[in-house]
Structure 1
Amino acid sequence: MVDRRLFDIARWSLMVAVWLLPVLYVFGLMRLLHLENAYHTCTQARFGVPDDRGLPVFGRLDSDVLPPRSVCTWVDGYTLDRVPWFVTPTMFVCLVVAAAASPVVISARRRGVMAGTARRPW
């Protein structure tokens, strides 16, 4: 039996997770976009200037869409992830919360806990 308080917590957790997950994903995807080539984008992110006067040699840019990841690598061994560190773990937490709260909300709605419309025995 799901009581009203547990239902409210599960419902709000589900709503927050369902709205936050796409927002974080789009934020991560926006960090994958670059208007110039990979060299200029990564050099600008690391040094603040897009040119190569006296800077270490740029290696490559690795990008993935799921989870959003954009890692710049230089020959000197330095790596820079252009997607903030909190995006992927928070997306994972949102998925876990949504997976845990969904059955509670669905079973409570089927029993009528949501609007106080549970069938009365009399």
Structure 2
Amino acid sequence: MKIDIQAGGIWYHGSNALFTELRAGSTITQWKALAEAFSHKPTLLGYDDDGSIFHNGKEKGYLYMIDEPIEAGKDIYQHPRSTMDENAEFLTNRPLSVRLVGEVGNPD
């Protein structure tokens, strides 16, 4: 599946915890549904070519938006061990401010 990165686009992080700053080394993505799926802390996650995501996560989830400008290559880099398509997952090089979007619907 082809995943395009939008310069100046919104970056997301999904978690089962509440916080105001994302730690360095955390995973972020511009694919909102992927961040929502990761918020449920699945041990298995995959997606089809049409973008349909499936996972086994059961945790209560929260969706965050990165609340400051991001520069690829400086602030973030491609996840080197990702099994997903290019541009699906990035890791952060430094702590980043986040804004809580809200609670993600129950995965059941």
Q: TM-score, normalised by structure 2?
A: 0.24
More strand by share: 2
More helix by share: 1
Which has more radius of gyration?
Answer: 1
